[in-house]
């Protein structure tokens, strides 16, 4: 007897239908051309507008702006190591049953050992720690202090600004 849907054909049809339902709207949106359209320049643009357009859309110039922003963030990150660091720690313990300890009987040594409950039902601790970096050889040479030098002492970077 022949089955109406063979298992392999059924799974492939289910996959194709689900792909069409889920991916169809995305494929139509991707082909609309609104989000990824390349920037255009008007036909009667001035020389200054043409230069600005070329600088904005040149991949190497765009990458240099990205590199400059990354460098500034890395400098700020390096400088943050020189700021005070503060840490806080806390803990809480609730003993439902107090711990029991076996101790010798100090009043009557012949009586044997005795069981003693030691501890508290509730205990808590809190701690605050602050540190300040005063000197680090690793940080001093080529580190964030390098970025604090006067601009005339720093190497020259050729970046175009708007």
Domains in the chain: boundaries: 43-84+134-162, 85-131
DSSP the chain: ---SS-HHHHHHHHHHHHHHHHHHHHHHHHTS-SSSPPP---TT--HHHHHHHHHHH-HHHHHHHHHHHHHHHHHHHHHHTTS-EEEEEEEEEE-SS--EEEEE-SS-GGG-EEEEE-S-SEEEEEEEEEE-----HHHHSSSHHHHTS-GGGSPP------
Asked whether the beta carbons of 142 and 98 are under 8 A apart, the reply is: no
Give residue 73's pLDDT: 92
Asked whether the beta carbons of 100 and 132 are under 8 A apart, the reply is: no
| Regions of the chain short of the pLDDT cut 50 | 1, 33, 144, 147, 150-153, 162
Give residue 53's pLDDT: 87
Residues in the chain: 162
Q: Note if the pTM is more than 0.75.
A: no
Nearest to 65 by CA among 147, 162, 153, 146: 162
What is the CA angle 113-118-123, rounded to 5? Answer: 170
Give residue 150's pLDDT: 46
Give residue 42's pLDDT: 82
Give residue 11's pLDDT: 62
Other CB atoms within 10 Å distance of the CB of residue 124: 10
């Amino acid at each position: 007897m022949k089955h109406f849907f063979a298992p392999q054909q059924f799974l492939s049809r289910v996959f194709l239908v689900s792909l069409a339902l889920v991916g169809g709207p995305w494929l139509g949106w991707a082909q609309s051309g609104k989000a990824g359209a390349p920037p255009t320049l008007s036909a009667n643009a001035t020389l200054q507008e043409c230069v600005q357009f070329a600088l904005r859309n040149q991949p190497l110039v765009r990458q240099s702006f990205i590199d400059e922003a990354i460098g500034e963030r890395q400098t700020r990150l390096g400088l943050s190591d020189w700021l005070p660091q503060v840490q806080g720690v806390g803990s809480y313990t609730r003993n439902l049953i107090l711990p029991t300890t076996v101790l010798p009987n100090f009043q009557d040594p012949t009586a044997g050992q005795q069981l003693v409950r030691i501890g508290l039902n509730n205990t808590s601790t809190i701690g605050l720690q602050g540190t300040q970096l005063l000197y680090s050889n690793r940080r001093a040479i080529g580190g964030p202090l390098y970025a604090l030098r006067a601009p005339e002492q720093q190497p020259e970077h050729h970046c175009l600004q708007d």
